[in-house]
Amino acid sequence: MTEPVLWLSDGSPHSPRFNDRYRSRTGGVAQAFTVFVAGCGLPQRWRSSDEFTVLETGFGLGLNFLTTWAAWEADAQRCERLHFVSVEAYPVAAADILRNAQVPELPGTAEPQLVARLPALALELAQAWQALQGGTQQLQFAGGRVCLTLAFGQVQPMLDGLDCIADAVYLDGFSPALNPEMWSHATLQAIARHCRAGTTLASYSVALGVRESLKQLGFSVCKRPGLPPKRHRLEALFVLT
C-alpha cells in the first residue's frame, strides 16, 4: 500500500497524514536547488571528489534527488559518482513521482535546463520504483554513476542502520511543528553520526530547536535569506571531528 498524496487545486501535492505540502507552492525545483543543492555548496563541492554522498531525511516525491541528479548531469566538472541516500517511512506511488515532475515552475524561479530534464529523469526513477519493496534498496542510474540508496522505514532506526559518511545532508521532513520526530535531537544526533568535518547541511527550516540541537551536535549554523514565501533557510557546517 503506497502513501496517498492529495493534489490540491493549485497543483501542489499535500500529505493528508501530516497535513503539510510536499513542496513549496512557489516552485519545487527552485526550492530544491536554492535550499538544498546550493545550500550545501553544490555543485562546487562535488568537483573536488571522485565520489560525493548526499544523505536526506524524507524522500517524498524524489524532487530533491531528481534536482540534484539534474544539477550533477549539467555540471561539466561533476564528480565521477554521485551517491544519494534517503530515508522514507511512507513511500508514495510512482505515478505521484511522475506527476510531481510535471508541475510547472513559476517563470524565472528555477534554472530552465534543470526543469527541462526533470520529467525524463523522473520517468527513469518511476520505472525502477515500481519494483521496490520494503527495507533498504539500491537503484543505479546514469550507467552506475548515480546510485540511489532508499532506506524505507522510520527515520531513527533506518539512520542507525545505514553505513555511509555524508558529504552533504538535506533535512526535509515536513515542518518541525507538524512532524517533530524528523527534527528531534535524537534524529539529528543519528544524522551527525554520519557526518565528517566539512559536511554541509541544508534545510528550509530555521526552527530554534533545530538550530540549537545542530549547534550542540557540532555544527556551525547560519540563517540565510529564504525563497518566498519562506523568509529564511538554514545552512550548516559540521566542524566537530
Which residues contribute to the site for ligand SAM (CB under 6 A)? Answer: 22, 32, 56, 58-64, 87-90, 154-155, 172-174, 179, 181-182
Note whether 190 and 181 are within 8 A (CB). Answer: no
Residue closer to ligand SAM by CB (options 53, 179) is 179
Maximum separation of any 2 CA atoms in the chain, in Å: 47
β-bridge pairing 195-203 and 166-171? parallel
Residue closer to ligand SAM by CB (options 120, 239) is 120
Minimum distance between the CB of residue 189 and ligand SAM, rounded to whole angstroms?
15
Please, which residues have CB within 8 angstroms of residue 120's CB and are 6 or more apart in sequence?
Answer: none
What the block records as the C-alpha cell of 235 is 545552512
Q: Phi then psi for 198, rounded to 5 degrees?
A: 100, -10
Note whether 29 and 67 are within 8 A (CB). Answer: yes
Minimum distance between the CB of residue 241 and ligand SAM, rounded to whole angstroms?
28
Q: Tally the residues of the chain.
A: 241
Minimum distance between the CB of residue 239 and ligand SAM, rounded to whole angstroms?
25
| DSSP assigned state of 3 | B
Q: Give the DSSP H/E element, type plus range, for residue 147.
A: strand 146-152
Minimum distance between the CB of residue 197 and ligand SAM, rounded to whole angstroms?
26
Residue closer to ligand SAM by CB (options 187, 199) is 187
C-alpha closest to that of 150 among 35, 119, 25, 141: 141
Per DSSP, what are the bridge partners of residue 52?
A: 82
Residue closer to ligand SAM by CB (options 159, 237) is 159
Minimum distance between the CB of residue 120 and ligand SAM, rounded to whole angstroms?
17
Note whether 162 and 151 are within 8 A (CB). Answer: yes
Residue closer to ligand SAM by CB (options 88, 167) is 88
Minimum distance between the CB of residue 61 and ligand SAM, rounded to whole angstroms?
4
Residue closer to ligand SAM by CB (options 73, 181) is 181
